[in-house]
């Protein structure tokens, strides 16, 4: 299954093969653990003037090779998209950069990436960053899709504690002191996400229009900057 980071910047074309723009973000259900739509950045007018981003439900798209194909000739209006989804765009959530905490209210880190199904948007794996220190020490934490509860209030919720999560870098090879430091780093990253008001800014799909969501994502990248896997 593709990661959200793999979908971002993918081209979107209509049923006739005409370019409609590129994916700039993936949006998730207001509470359930599944992706529901993409944000499409349309081509600039005359290559200079920026145009407003559009929202497209995943159910209107199909992956064909290196592009996403819209089952229509033009991008849907906001109203048509909301009618298709059954709820307002303003309630959708951008998960990347969001704080992650357990059902026991333990701060774990922040969402680095998400593996999803393009068919129904289901989450198969949540990749959690604990910041540069934690990611270097034990690797990013991986949460299986069946342990991801969804979004609630101000964070993505998982039904597992820090100690139960598998690290992509091989936590078993790391001394207990290093693992403890990584856990503490994860708590700090989650707290920074809260302190930066990321939840309030990114939880609203339409925040991308004002640029607030973009600024919060950039802030998260600064907090967790490290080499990609």
Least Cα distance to 216 among 136, 154, 167, 144 occurs for 154
Residue 160 pLDDT = 79
**pLDDT of 142:** 87
**CATH number of this structure's domain 4-91:** 2.30.30.240
Residue 206 pLDDT: 44
pLDDT in tens, 20-69: 999 999 999 999 999 999 999 988 777 677 778 889 999 999 999 999 99
Please give the DSSP secondary-structure letter assigned to residue 145.
Answer: G
Give start and end residues of each alpha helix (H) in the chain. Answer: 4-7, 78-85, 131-138, 176-195, 198-202, 207-210, 212-223
- Residue 125 is predicted with a pLDDT of 94
pLDDT above 50: residue 181: no
Of residues 99 and 33, more confidently modeled: 33
- The answer on pLDDT for 208 being more than 70 is no
Q: Are 224 and 209 in contact (CB under 8 A)?
A: no
pLDDT at 63: 92
CA 180 to chain centre: 26
Considering only residues 72 and 214, tell me which one the structure prediction assigns the higher pLDDT.
72
Place of tokens 């993918």: 10
pTM, two decimals, is: 0.75
Parts of the chain belonging to CATH 2.30.30.240: 4-91, 99-223
* Residues in contact with 190: Cβ distance below 8 Å, sequence separation at least 6, in sequence order: 99, 100, 101, 107, 108, 109, 110, 155
Mean pLDDT, rounded, of the chain: 76
Task: Find which of 24-38, 137-151, 209-223 is predicted with most confidence, using mean pLDDT.
Answer: 24-38
pLDDT-based confidence at residue 171 (cuts at 50, 70, 90): very low
Contacts of 34 (CB under 8 A, 6+ apart): 28, 116, 120, 121, 122, 123
What are the tens digits of pLDDT across the range 55-92?
999 999 999 999 999 998 999 999 999 999 999 888 89
The size of the chain, in residues, is: 229
Assign a CATH topology to domain 99-223. Answer: SH3 type barrels. (2.30.30)
């Amino acid at each position: 299954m593709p990661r959200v980071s793999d979908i971002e910047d993918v081209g979107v074309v209509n049923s006739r093969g005409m370019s409609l723009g590129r994916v700039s973000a993936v949006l998730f259900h207001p509470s359930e653990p599944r992706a529901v739509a993409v944000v499409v950045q349309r081509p600039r007018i005359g290559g200079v003037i920026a145009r407003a981003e559009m929202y497209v439900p995943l159910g209107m798209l199909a992956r064909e090779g290196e592009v996403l194909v819209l089952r229509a000739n033009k991008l849907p209006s906001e109203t048509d998209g909301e009618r298709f989804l059954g709820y307002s765009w303003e309630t959708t959530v951008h998960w990347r950069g969001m704080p992650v905490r357990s059902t026991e209210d333990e701060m774990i880190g922040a969402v680095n990436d998400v593996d999803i199904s393009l068919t129904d948007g289901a989450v198969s794996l949540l990749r959690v960053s604990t910041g540069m220190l934690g990611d270097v020490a034990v690797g990013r934490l991986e949460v299986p899709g069946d342990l991801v509860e969804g979004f609630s209030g101000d964070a993505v919720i998982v039904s597992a504690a820090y100690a139960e999560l598998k690290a992509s870098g091989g936590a078993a090879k790391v001394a207990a002191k290093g693992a403890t430091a990584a856990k503490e780093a994860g708590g700090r990253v989650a707290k920074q996400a809260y302190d930066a008001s990321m939840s309030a800014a990114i939880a609203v799909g339409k925040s991308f229009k004002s640029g607030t969501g973009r600024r919060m994502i950039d802030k998260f990248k600064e907090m967790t900057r490290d080499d990609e896997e």
